[in-house]
Every structure is written in structure tokens, then in C-alpha cells.
Structure 1
């Protein structure tokens, strides 16, 4: 089906807004802009990022909604004190327990399924390359029999970032690499070693997700991700029922 040019333009606009907002957010996090500092003017930001004023305004609006900056009439936009930390999300999730582990996998199935579909539609060439590199690192670790939780998480995070909706990446960052089940269920906090046949299936599932994203297949990417995470639920129900 041929894409509607208007839809493509809208997606590109959302992508630019997300990129500018994330870049400014990162600069605040790294200390380039500290609490109380005034951000560069709208004209300066437009020139710095090579985007329109509309994109800059929407990016600033996103930062305002996150309470990172505030606009002062006639003065400019200023960086705010970081908001007080609230109770850490998911802090009651004990991922060593089958109930919490399956709950998180069900939640990830819902969220990451849509993330994969959006990544298939919105990814940039650079983001697609990052997904491929993460998959290649994961596959290499698996083939060598090395721990794969970190590279597995990096693959899922690269897909979340390729949605160009920062909330998906924030969701995974809130969970962290420990949400990868074979690390979560290990008694020593390292990583449960899976049978070679299981690891080959997991690599194949990741490859199916990658292929669908590279082909721009929204429905296929969503289905491949959901299948992978549902299969994970089945795998880890079996592992957690076995003597440990």
C-alpha cells in the first residue's frame, strides 16, 4: 500500500520533535544547561538543530510537560530543578518470583509489540543500523556461549528508540537489563544458562523481529515481537517450575 505523503510528513515531524527534545534533555542531564540556566533562544535552537521554529516550539512544550523547563514571559525558557524523586516504578516486582516475572513479560508483550510496529514505520537509517548491530552482538554472544542479557536488552532498547517516541525507551530504562528473564531468575544474580536449542530459538525470534523492521512490515514486526515475548512466558514458566 502506498503511504500517504501527508502521513509521512507527520511522522517526520514527530521524529524531529522527539530528536530535538531528547538532545536538549541529554544536554541538561550532562550539565551543559544547569538548573536556573536560560536555554538558547528559539532562533538559536532553530539554527543549531537545523529545524523549523514549529519543531523547536513543540520540543520545548514536551520538555515543559516533563517539568524540565519553564517559559517566562518576555525572558526566555529556563531549566528547572529536577523534580523530586517519586517512588520507583515497579519496585514491588520481585522478578525471581514466577508471578512477577510473567506479569512483566505480559506488560512487555503489550508495550513492545507496538514499539516494534512503530519502529518498522518510523526508524531512520541510523536507528535501523543500531538495531542490526545490537542483534549481531546478541547473536555473537549466544553463539559463543557468553552471557546475553545485556546484548538482548540493548536490542530491545534500540527498537524502542527507533519508535521516535521517547516514552518507549523510558519504559525500558525504568525496567533495566534485569528484566531479561534469564538474568532475573538466576539465584546468584548473574544469568541462567539456557540449553543451546532454546538459545537458537531465541536468536531466530530476534532475527524475525529484525527482518520485519528492516522490511518496514508494521504488522509483521508487531506479531514477531509479541510471539517472542509470549514464547518467553512459556519458556520461563517451565524453568521456574523446575528444581533450581
Structure 2
């Protein structure tokens, strides 16, 4: 895929390439504050990618406070003064800071998953499935998964059909995915069994939502995020050379 100036992004994933090109267009004034981005179908045609890729790229821009979807109206560019404030005092050098975010997500997303199991529409269920498949594919190919991971969790929050859940995830922003915080240009190295664990835990959440089982969906989400706390304690210890 090529950007507007005809330069192919070597080695970049499609999501990263689309995300960066849309960000460039916004920063250069192609799309100004208050403008609505082209429709999802138009962007898939313009970039020659699937709608899942477009959704992940837009989700990444949303996490960075650059755009904001409005239900039934589209995705709009935010002015600098209108961008959603990020959480303060997040220090990636402190395990405690990462764990604080994961603890918040455990409380928030457990209920979001339960509501998604009860309230999701067929289209929203399809969005969750597509996000899961994308995340699984990237993990199996040992490619960066941060944006796909965010898109999966955001799709579940949106399927809760309470806009406050997705708004809170956007407020958390890049801190949603600790792997992205540690290395903003890519993921930290993947542990040997991480792909299997990632697929199993996210798959359990998806299955519970598809089975319309709110209690199991809540449990699966909370288990996943509690396990993440344990994993990141170890990964951060190794990444910071404390072992």
C-alpha cells in the first residue's frame, strides 16, 4: 500500500501505515478540526485494505486523542483544545503505574464484557469477531499487536451499548496497552507461549459474549486482565534489567 506521495512504508503493518497516513493528513490540514473523516467504505477503497484495518487505525488515532467517533454521524477530527485529556502521572518505569491502569481496566471492562454479552447487535458481534481474528493473526505472525489489542477491547466496550465505556477507554488512551507504552514504535519481545495464551484468553471472552453469558464474559475478561498484571510485572522487571 502507498501513501499519498507514492512512498510505500517498508516493513510497516497495514494498520500502522493507514494510521500514520491519516495522522499526516490531519497534521498537514487535509482534514481540519471539526472535519468528518471519509466513511469507512471510502477509506477501505482509498487505502486498498479491509474495514478491520481501517477500524484499528481509527481506534489508534482515537486512543491518541486525535479523532472522536460520534454515533450515527461518523468520525471527526478533534481540535487540540478538545482532545480528551490523558491520565496524568503514568510512569512506564514504575511497575505500580502499569498495574494501576490494569486494575482500573479489570473493574471497567469486566462489566463492559458482561453488558456486551447481553446487548450486542449482530453487527457489533461481527466487529468483535473480526478484531479477534486480526489480533490472533498478528500474534501468530509475531507482529506488533498493540493496536489490534486496543481495537478488540474497544469493540467490546462499544457492544456494551453504553457510550461511557468506550469514552473511558479513550481517556485511558495509550496506557490501555502496556506493551505499547513500553515501546511506542513497536512491541516488546514476545514470550514463547504468549501467542497461545493471548489467543486462549481473548477467545474465552469472545465465546462468552457469543454465548450470551454475561457472568462468564465478566469472569473471562477479569481473568485475562488479572493475568496481564502478572505477566507485565515479570516483563517490566526483565525489560528494566531488574532481574
| Same fold (TM > 0.5) | yes
Contact map agreement 1:206 1:228 (CA 8 A) in 2 = yes
Contact map agreement 1:96 1:184 (CA 8 A) in 2 = no
Change (3 A) 1:86 1:243: closer
Unaligned runs of 5+ in 2: 1-32, 38-78
CA distance, structure 2, for counterparts of residue 105 and residue 112 of structure 1? 10
Change (3 A) 1:93 1:177: closer
Matched residue SS, 1:232: helix
Unaligned runs of 5+ in 1: 1-27, 33-81
Matched residue SS, 1:242: helix
Pick one of 191, 201, 204 that aligns with 2:200.
204
Once the two structures are superposed, the pairs formed by residues 148-167 of structure 1 within 5 Å of their partners are 148-167=145-164
**Counterpart of 2:53?**
none
CA distance, structure 1, for counterparts of residue 104 and residue 110 of structure 2? 10
**Counterpart of 1:67?**
none
Contact map agreement 2:205 2:220 (CA 8 A) in 1 = yes
C-alpha distance after superposition, 1:23-64 (max 9, x if no partner): xxxxx95469xxxxxxxxxxxxxxxxxxxxxxxxxxxxxxxx
Give the deviation of 1:199 after TM superposition.
2.3
Q: Structure 2 length as normaliser, TM-score?
A: 0.63
CA distance, structure 2, for counterparts of residue 101 and residue 171 of structure 1? 17
Give the deviation of 1:124 after TM superposition.
0.1
Once the two structures are superposed, the pairs formed by residues 1-244 of structure 1 within 5 Å of their partners are 30=35, 88-186=85-183, 189-244=185-240
Contact map agreement 2:116 2:157 (CA 8 A) in 1 = yes
CA distance, structure 1, for counterparts of residue 152 and residue 201 of structure 2? 12
CA RMSD in angstroms, aligned pairs only: 2.5
Give the greater-gyration-radius structure (CA).
1
C-alpha distance after superposition, 1:106-134 (max 9, x if no partner): 00000000000000000000000000000
C-alpha distance after superposition, 1:136-182 (max 9, x if no partner): 00000011111100101000000000000000001111122442122
CA distance, structure 1, for counterparts of residue 221 and residue 93 of structure 2? 23
Matched residue SS, 1:238: helix
Matched residue SS, 2:212: coil
Give the deviation of 1:85 after TM superposition.
5.1
Q: Structure 1 length as normaliser, TM-score?
A: 0.63
CA distance, structure 1, for counterparts of residue 239 and residue 149 of structure 2? 25
